[in-house]
Amino acid sequence: MPLPSPEPVTVANRSPHLVEGRGELSCAVTDALRSGRPPQCAPGAVLEADAWGEDLQLALYLLYELHYRGFDAVDDAREWDPDLLRLRQAMEARFLDALRTELSDAPRTVEDAFAPLLVEHIDLSGSLSHHLETEGELWQLREYAALRSLYHLKEADPHAWVIPRLTGRAKAAMVAIEYDEFGAGRADRIHAQLFADLMSDLGLDPSYGRYLDHAPAPLLATVNLMSLFGLHRALRGALVGHFACVEVTSSPGSRRLAEAMRRCGAGPAEHFYAEHVEADAVHEQVVRHEVIGGGLLTHEPALEADIALGCASTVLLEDRLADHIRRAWCRGGSALRRPLP
């Protein structure tokens, strides 16, 4: 009998290393995780922190990561440490309040929230994927991949938290989409593995969490958003809205990014995005008509405003990230906190 195939070598199974803090809150979290003691910060530190800033967003990311793979040399039991959870709750409230304030005029219905996303704009001058497709350079593709690795190496994981919170058609459809995201039974086709392969093709380290210290606050906020929605049953509607927004907007952007990879001679790196062109076009229909329309809104119509919030929040944070990257590149500099080697 032949031996079973080994685990793909491009995705490291070890926990990432803990990074240094960027301010009072994140330093309090890192010190607490290293020492095993409660976090120590001033009583008003959360309220005084910038909800979009490096300090709060990194602190939130570190605490959320305890629910994924944790950190090397940090006790797994800290995932449910009551002192860390209290601090996280305060920062989540700050983050969620900032989102609701920014989106005070955003649509409250599913139809109004998703209608603008279903038509591809003729003017793509502000599109980051269009820039990469038409004039992006290989170093920019590498920076983009390093940034996105914090999401794509855990792709579909936070959305899986919604499955036990759904019933009937919504649950069945969500599981069907997640089955595709996790490779349809093939470890080498798991989307996170495909992205790790892409990183290797680009000469990047595919280790999980490797580029956390390079990632600026606008990127951390996009990852924190789905963790925030995923970890709270009360925000299950927002998580579905986030997932639907990602699926609706993925296919056109993936097509442009696959072309950018080909144009820059990045080799097999295009496979990740080529996979998403077709798959997400199907997923978009399933999530809109089965998960939302035929399922969640039928059983829980009161969640419509939350679904719209999840969509609008995703658009807001993706736009903020794209603006950050474009401004840095237009100045001829790196979009990372420090450039790649």
Percent of the chain that is helix, strand, coil (3-state, to 5): 70, 0, 30
**Taking a C-beta distance cutoff of 8 angstroms, is the pair 267, 142 a contact?**
no
Residue pLDDT, tens place only, 12-55: 567 899 999 999 999 999 999 999 999 999 989 999 999 999 99
What is the CATH T-level fold of the domain 110-330, as seen in this structure? Heme Oxygenase; Chain A (1.20.910)
**pLDDT above 80 for 157:** yes
Give how far Cα 214 sits from Cα of 180, 220, 335, Å.
Answer: 30, 10, 9
Residue pLDDT, tens place only, 52-90: 999 999 999 999 999 999 999 999 999 999 999 999 999
Mean pLDDT of 98-111: 96
Q: Across the chain, what does the average pLDDT equal?
A: 91
Helix 304-330 to helix 236-263 angle (10° resolution) is 30
**Taking a C-beta distance cutoff of 8 angstroms, is the pair 15, 71 a contact?**
yes
**pLDDT above 90 for 162:** yes
**pLDDT above 60 for 270:** yes
The first and second tokens of residue 50, run together, are 């910038």
Among the listed residues 81, 10, 13, 19, the one whose alpha carbon sits nearest the alpha carbon of residue 214: 19
Query: Judging by beta carbons within 10 Å of its beta carbon (0-12, 13-18, 19+), is residue 181 exposed, middle or buried?
Result: buried
Decide which of 75 and 127 is more confident: 75
Mean pLDDT of 158-175: 95
Residue pLDDT, tens place only, 187-242: 999 999 999 999 999 999 999 999 999 999 999 999 999 999 999 999 999 999 99
Mean pLDDT of 271-292: 81
**pLDDT above 90 for 275:** no
Q: How confident is the model at residue 2 (pLDDT cuts 50, 70, 90)?
A: very low
Mean pLDDT of 240-248: 93
For residues 114, 119, 122, 125, the Cα torsion angle rounded to the nearest 10 degrees is: 30
The first and second tokens of residue 56, run together, are 């709060």
* The one-letter amino acid at 236: R
The share of the chain scoring above pLDDT 90, in percent, equals 77
Q: Rounded distance, CA 321 to CA 323, Å?
A: 5
Decide which of 124 and 27 is more confident: 27
What is the structure's pLDDT at 12? 52
**pLDDT above 90 for 122:** no
What is the structure's pLDDT at 118? 83
Numbered ranges of CATH 1.20.910.10 in the chain: 110-330
What is the structure's pLDDT at 304? 97
Place of tokens 């798991």: 190
**Taking a C-beta distance cutoff of 8 angstroms, is the pair 101, 265 a contact?**
no
Q: How many CB atoms lie within 10 A of CB 2?
A: 4
What is the structure's pLDDT at 13? 63
**pLDDT above 80 for 261:** yes
The reported pTM is: 0.92
Decide which of 283 and 224 is more confident: 224
